[in-house]
Amino acid sequence: MLCEKIGRGFACAGGLMLLFWAGATQGQELGKHKPGKQVTELLGGRLQVRMPEKARVEGRQHSIMAAPEALTEETRVVLDAGNERLVLMAWELFATSGGDLAKAVAADVAKWGDMAQGAKVEPLPVPKPLQDARLAIPGKHDLSREAILVLAAYVESADGTVQMLAFYVNPAGAKDLGGCTALAKSVAQTIGAGAKRLDLSAGKKRFAGAGDKDFLALDVPAGFVATTQQGPDFSVYRLRRVSVLGEPGASIGIYLGGHPSYQHKQARDEKLEFSTAKGKLLGQEVEWHTWSRGPAATTEAILPHPGAKGLFLHLFLSAAGEAALAPLRAIAETIKIEHE
């Protein structure tokens, strides 16, 4: 899970690297910066850090027809210094430490490929109510990348869940890796807890529906977190099951909009095969399409919204193996439309 985030971060952090140019500088500008007094909230208020004064929160680029990442799942903070750029990517991992954060982080860093050779993992002191934190510093850096990882911080919050902060620089900034690493470490040393907590309780989870006074509601067991992505004319809701760090996760996604599309078709893989099974959602007959790609299995169904012409619901469930989809489908089948 964590290694996957690091890899994804190369794209997320680098999204605006190539588009940025603010004129030539003498170099080694980033390393001159220090954390300022202003507090920056991460992940919708889960964590706080103090960035240098000119840093700004800036979501990563996405297609005009795509939904930006939910603020509770991802935060991107950018610092520019001439033609040098540092990007902080913060992610909610929807996982617990399993009682041993140091062990989980060491296991993940071992999967970093060439960066794992000579990598260092060290404790990061954090204030209460945070429980623990670790810094991971790559042993090698691929300077051919648009975004170069210099440091990753793994933070265990009071509820036992883990968040990850990864610091990247562009090639111009990487000319002073020592200075950039020192800056990233100084920012990491300001990490503190925010006011927001994850709601992991069992019960009814409600999402905005087709109108102002109707909702989509599901009966959800304990251990799931609800998030929302808002697109230009659609919404994507997710229920993510909190797992142990390093173990496969599971999620239920719900698209509400006018242009649904099966994910197995979006994959554009001619060799991808799927099976079908009949089911029922909101009193309607539906057809579940189930398929696998690598270790992950997905089952999905599309149906018209019964109360809004032209709108559809696309439910897509993902887990590690088809057997793990059954409890997710049982949750999905509790979906109903409620009104105020």
- Indicate whether 156 and 85 sit together in one domain: yes
- Indicate whether 235 and 184 sit together in one domain: no
* pLDDT tens track for 178-231: 999 999 999 999 999 999 999 999 999 999 998 888 999 999 999 999 999 988
133, 126 Cβ separation under 8 angstroms: yes
Residue at which a domain ends, from 159, 193, 227: 193
Q: Write out the residue range of the structural domain in which residue 332 sits.
A: 203-339
Would you call 208 helix, strand, or coil by DSSP? strand
What is the C-alpha separation between 95 and 1, in angstroms, rounded? Answer: 9
**Could you tell me the pLDDT band of residue 92, with boundaries at 50, 70 and 90?**
very high
- Indicate whether 171 and 210 sit together in one domain: no
Structure tokens given for 176: 């002073």
DSSP-derived secondary structure for 112-131: SGGGGTT-EEEE----TT--
Tally the domains of the chain: 2
pLDDT of residue 271: 84
- Indicate whether 20 and 168 sit together in one domain: yes
CATH of the domain at 320: 2.60.120.1690
Query: Residue range 147-166: average pLDDT?
Result: 97
Any domain includes 198: no
Average pLDDT of every residue of the chain = 91
pLDDT of residue 186: 98
> Which pTM does this prediction carry?
0.89
